[in-house]
Amino acid sequence: MEEKVKEMLESLRVGLQADGGDLEFVKMDGKVVYLKLVGHCGSCPFAMMTLKQGIEASLREIDPEITVERAEA
């Protein structure tokens, strides 16, 4: 499942990079994916909304129980 998650994240990075940001996959623990937002995304006030409503929603297409957490810097 981790490989599928990483593939999906790669496809989502394009949108973040277009806004001057990016994401880094930190780890996957069970069905919890830990990501670090970098660049403009790291300091954006909408970062949690991006994680939950954007990235997590997309990853739930792989498995509806997947959740995304922001990894500490």
Residues 4-17 have pLDDT tens digits of: 999 999 999 998 89
pLDDT of residue 73: 58
Residue 66's pLDDT is 97
CATH of the domain at 66: 3.30.300.130
d(CA 21, CA 43): 9
Per-residue pLDDT band for 41 (boundaries 50, 70, 90) equals confident
The structure's pTM equals: 0.88
List the domain range (segments joined by +) for residue 54. Answer: 2-70
Mean pLDDT for the chain overall:
91
d(CA 65, CA 73): 25
**What strands lie across the sheet with 67-70, from one edge to the other?**
21-29, 32-39, 67-70
* Domains identified in the chain, total number: 1
